[in-house]
Structure 1
Amino acid sequence: MHLSRTFLLRLSLLGIAVLFLVVIAISSLSLRTARVDLTSDRIYTLTPGTLDIVDGLRKPLTLTLYFSDHATRDLAQLRSYEQRVHEMLREIAVRAHGRIRLRVIDPVPYSDDEDAAESYGLTPASGGSNGERVFFGLVGSAGPGDTAPQAIPFFDPAREAFVEYDIAKLLYELGMPKKPRLGVMSSLPLEGNLVIGEAPWTLMRQLDQLADVTTIDPDSVTHIDPAISVLLLIHPKHLSEDAQYAIDQFVLRGGHLVVFVDPDAEMDTAPLIDSQGTVDDHDSNLPRLFQAWGVVFDPTRVVLDRSQALTIELNGNSIGHPAMLGLGAQDLNHDDVVTASLQRINFSTAGFFELAPDTKARLIPLVQTSDEAAIVPAQRVRDSASDPTSLLENYEPTHDRYLLAARLRDTFHTAFPERREKGHLAVASGPGEVVLVADTDLLSDRLWIDVQPLLGQQQLTPFANNGDFVANLVDNLGGSSALLSIRGRVNSQRPFTRVKALQAAADRKFLVKKRELENELYETQRRLAELQPAKGAAAPTTATAEQRREVEQYLQRKLAIGKELREVQHQLNAEIDALGLRLKFINIVLVPGLVALLGLIYGWRRTRRARRVV
């Protein structure tokens, strides 16, 4: 039986088509999680910390993204950000291999979906189309009767750098059956005194809601329970070697430590001179541990900052206190998840941290002063309690920014190499982290919370983010090591850097012209002022004519400069338009043309080769 060449060709094409479909089907099953991220900053690639959390999920979860699609039809930037969040959630769902179910709901007004979004604690924003509210949040839930649903109330575009961290934290909390253990070791009266009617500090009540808090007596501690995930060490004074060794080993085992020290703890209630004549300056320090960690802290020096001084009421007058600092958003590290969303943290008589010259450790700033700061002895601050303005006498800023709070990162070594107890660790198994804060007064109510009676109850109104700062630290450090490894990501919005450079250059030109115009205006006004005495009965006409000439000359020059300004603006627009045309030509004409040309050359070469074979 002889098969025609045409039939064989058709049969071959059919076989190729079937093979193509089989390959597509196999690849769709076997390569479902395969992705290629071609963005320059790999913004769609999940970090190893997120992958560890997703891979560690042991129960199915449901993630519901509430996004007001109809209400945001005119909000292009928010819709672009929603696409970024949606893509990341879809990537996480694919990575979970069926353990995460992703839903997207548009909660239209007056619908059951809108009521459900509000019941989960999502926070709507105003400004949608036709005045509609905009929902853009995430709700995560496990099975019935399991962990309570967790929510991200609103995906704020200002936190885009931490969107992966926020989602991974939600997943981690859904898989965490109970609150983290938090240890608090302090020599300050954080829990108040019921005998004399002192209530616990607001901070302690806040921490009780976040974690399972355990109070540790600093005078008797010899070992710290490994089940404690975060230890707050507040105002350590006269700690025994056993207590310091317990802290040392806790850090080397991978425990998360936050140290609050202070050169002048104003909330310290210990007598300045005890019954034995011992002087207590109300300062605190960890000299042995700090030395082992490569940290320099001087408990006898206080940071002043006249540009960030808080205003206080003293003897009926409002004065600026240069030792009481209100650090704003410009003084906080917005690349760190702990301080990224905070706006203000208040400090009082704080110290500062530095690194020893020979250390390999790193200090990552969380809060720092402005460059108008100065350093003075702590005793001078105590002596000026009745007149804080005296601290401004002979004030000499160092023009350095001092670290008031920072993350210390290193592979820590023990401060007690001579100890040989059972289970003693000489060095940590891997890199660790300790958070250092050079003030304890920031924890007290007076620096961040306003208490007012209301209907027999206390109305608490925060006026600074001190409580949020500590809560964020506990929240961040109390998570898994995988969660801690997730750092901020770059913004997905890609600015037109070339256009911005052209705009900046034009702005500089405009500034020069503006100054030229202002100088000429001043010179003309000065000249007119000189002519005023010449106005009199003797020569009023001459003076008036001269004034008119001056004014005419000024107006002509002003018009000329205005034309030059418009010319600069015209040149700027022309350069931007030319750049836009070049980009459009490259993307629309040149690149597709090159691809088509390469295809034609390849097809021509194949045809030529086939003819040679025939």
Structure 2
Amino acid sequence: MNKISAIASLTLLTFLFVSLVIVNNQLLDQFRVDLTENKVYSLSTGSKAVLKEINEPVTLYFFFSDTTSKGMTGLRNYADRVKSLLKEFSQSSEGKVVLKVIDPKPFSEAEDQASRFGLTAANLGAVGDPVYFGLAGTNAYDDQFTIGFFDPQKEQFLEYDIAKLIYQLSDPDPVKVALITDLPVSGGQNPMTGEYTDPMVFFEQLSQLYDVEVVSGSATALPDNTDVVMLAHTKSLSATLSYAIDQFTMNNGRIIAFVDPHYESDPMAMMGALEPNHSSFELLNKWGIDISSSIILDAKLGLDVRSQSGGVVRHPGILGLTAKNLDRKDVTTANLEVINGASFGALTLDETSALNLQPLLTTSANAVKMEASTYLQQSSPEAIQRQMGDASASYILGGKITGKANSAFATPPQGSEQKHVSNTNGLKLVVVADADILADRYWVQQSSFFGQPIYTPFANNGDFITNLVDNMAGSNALISIRSRGSFVRPFTTVVDLELKAEERFREQEERLQLQLQQTEDKLAQLQAQQDQSGSLVISAEQQNAIDEFIQQRVEIRKKLREVRFELERDIAALGNFLKFINVAAAPVVLVCLLYLAARMLRRRAGKQWMGETE
């Protein structure tokens, strides 16, 4: 009887377990609780705002080669992470985002579809089969945007990339960029040589991605439907254009400003200018932003240039910013490695400003300021280095500025019919205290291929400029989406164990290594004495010494192996303990709980039956 009761209980529990799994998958799938520390499975407020702005349905096609990626554990785990986040987007959109998950098997229609979308196929399979891992999106107007391949190294920007694609589908009109500058960005005649110059490479790149209109500083208004204003070393602005830029900013428009205390890439400045070739800082100053007229020198980041004597010398005014000097948490600079520029200024906020400054570009801790006039008087990089003095400060060279700002104008200029806005709580501005970043010579190398110019970048200046426009052109919600937490959590306990183990055993290992070195030196000395004597016969005392040292060397090496094993023993023990918890202990505890629950139910049923019998 007890045996039958136990079988019935197990059958009932099995049926209950399967039923709960089915109910969870079918009815409760839309209800989730994100218990991760950084909420990596939840959408940010910015992403939810992007979804609310969708007017027409959007269809997302997630292509992942589940069949041909067998055995690629890391990639498959990341694919599950991407799919989970895409489901979160779909469920939070209230039906506006339709998600389709597709496995593009080799030689299938799904693979042809992925190829038509232009997704990137990586030949990672065991027999070279293509592996697709990308996203394509379409809207009601047949517009199409894609993410060719999800790079696991960009995982912290996964939510931003998906939200950006959805935003592009919901607002497919091209971004209009007003490039305000008097630089020869579109090419022209060099005033020094009389030769025709090609368009600046950064301008060509922007023109391929956006609707860019060049506006002279003497213009009277901004182009209609401007989305982003870029100021590129503007030395003077007409009063009406300056007011138009100010009011564009007060109405929450987006501004990118490349300003410079001395623009070295001007042909006249390169010939040896006596006065600084500086940009106009007037608008920025009135908004509460200060750009130093001094030039920032940093010997640690200085790039090598050719000296007058023909050698190579480091120039502290021509800087190569590395990954350590870039904000690794911001989407515009996180994946960049090198940004080159010259004669940077320092970016600060006025003491009375209510603005917030997020640094994007910074110097090392070995920087110093030098007056621009003094900088220009120096005849060589060596002379600049001698004038630097104590270089022990750090400066912000570029950053994002947000918050509250007042208009630079108390009243509209005469003749303006635009409604005046006196302040804004949502300033959106990026300031880079250098315009030489835009010049070709600091980041691209030109060569010729069958008569056509080919530009090869050796720095990320172009990527930085494009990222800024791309990021600032998004909606307020898209701009607010910052890098999220990483899905892969570091094993901090393991790291702590490694550090403790190394501290515990490193001293012993060093002592044994020293003993081993001394033993080998003595053994080599004895063998050298034997070779010098030329005698084939050695004394018993010498042989005993050699044997002793050989045995000692064997023992020391054995102890070294034991010490190195000790370094990994605690980690291995932790791993075995976790395996035991996951493989054995957790199921045992679950079975015990279920058994206790079954006994309680059986006792309660027995008591009820006895009561009914009585």
Partner of 1:4: none
> How much has 1:111 moved relative to structure 2?
4.0
Counterpart check, 1:496 vs 2:494: no
- Mapped contact 1:346–1:448 kept (Cα < 8 A): yes
**Take 1:259 and 1:268, find their aligned partners in 2: how far apart are those partners?**
18
Partner of 1:566: 565
> How much has 1:80 moved relative to structure 2?
1.1
> How much has 1:210 moved relative to structure 2?
1.8
Partner of 2:331: 337
Counterpart check, 1:326 vs 2:320: yes
- Mapped contact 2:505–2:563 kept (Cα < 8 A): no
- Mapped contact 2:176–2:212 kept (Cα < 8 A): yes
The 1:563/1:81 distance shift into structure 2, 3 A limit, reads closer
Counterpart check, 1:365 vs 2:359: yes
Partner of 2:153: 158
> How much has 1:183 moved relative to structure 2?
0.9
Q: 1:99-178 maps to which residues of 2 (within 5 A)? A: 99-143=96-140, 146-178=141-173
AA in 1 matched with 2:568: Q
- Mapped contact 2:258–2:433 kept (Cα < 8 A): yes
Counterpart check, 1:213 vs 2:209: no
The 1:594/1:419 distance shift into structure 2, 3 A limit, reads farther
Q: 1:78-477 maps to which residues of 2 (within 5 A)? A: 78-143=75-140, 146-194=141-189, 196=194, 197-221=196-220, 223-224=221-222, 227-239=225-237, 243-269=241-267, 280-286=275-281, 289-290=284-285, 292-293=287-288, 295-306=289-300, 308-313=301-306, 317-357=311-351, 359-384=353-378, 387-393=380-386, 398-417=391-410, 423-428=419-424, 430-477=425-472
AA in 1 matched with 2:178: G
**Take 1:509 and 1:389, find their aligned partners in 2: how far apart are those partners?**
48
2:511 to 508, 511, 516: 516
- Mapped contact 2:299–2:314 kept (Cα < 8 A): no
1:37 to 31, 34, 39: 34
**Take 2:430 and 2:70, find their aligned partners in 1: how far apart are those partners?**
44
The 1:595/1:455 distance shift into structure 2, 3 A limit, reads same
- Mapped contact 2:264–2:270 kept (Cα < 8 A): no
AA in 1 matched with 2:423: V
Structure 1 unaligned runs (5+)? Answer: 1-19
1:59 to 52, 56, 59: 56
> How large is the Cα RMSD of the aligned pairs?
3.9
> How much has 1:130 moved relative to structure 2?
1.9
AA in 1 matched with 2:186: E
- Mapped contact 2:57–2:96 kept (Cα < 8 A): yes
The 1:322/1:595 distance shift into structure 2, 3 A limit, reads farther
Partner of 1:6: none
Q: Which moved more, 1:541-550 or 1:452-461?
A: 541-550
Normalised TM-score (structure 1): 0.81
**Take 2:346 and 2:610, find their aligned partners in 1: how far apart are those partners?**
82
Partner of 1:10: none
**Take 2:275 and 2:214, find their aligned partners in 1: how far apart are those partners?**
24
3-state SS of 2:121 partner: coil
- Mapped contact 2:283–2:408 kept (Cα < 8 A): yes
Normalised TM-score (structure 2): 0.81
1:14-44 deviation line (CA, Å, top 9, x unaligned): xxxxxx99xx89x95xx88554434343222
> How much has 1:560 moved relative to structure 2?
3.2
> How much has 1:531 moved relative to structure 2?
9.7
AA in 1 matched with 2:474: G
1:46-71 deviation line (CA, Å, top 9, x unaligned): 22322233233233332212211122
May I ask how many residue pairs the two structures share in their alignment?
Answer: 578
**Take 2:397 and 2:609, find their aligned partners in 1: how far apart are those partners?**
76
The 1:594/1:500 distance shift into structure 2, 3 A limit, reads farther
- Mapped contact 2:136–2:146 kept (Cα < 8 A): yes
**Take 1:397 and 1:593, find their aligned partners in 2: how far apart are those partners?**
71
1:361-418 deviation line (CA, Å, top 9, x unaligned): 3322323233344444434543446x32444447667455432221112222334457
1:76 to 61, 73, 78: 73
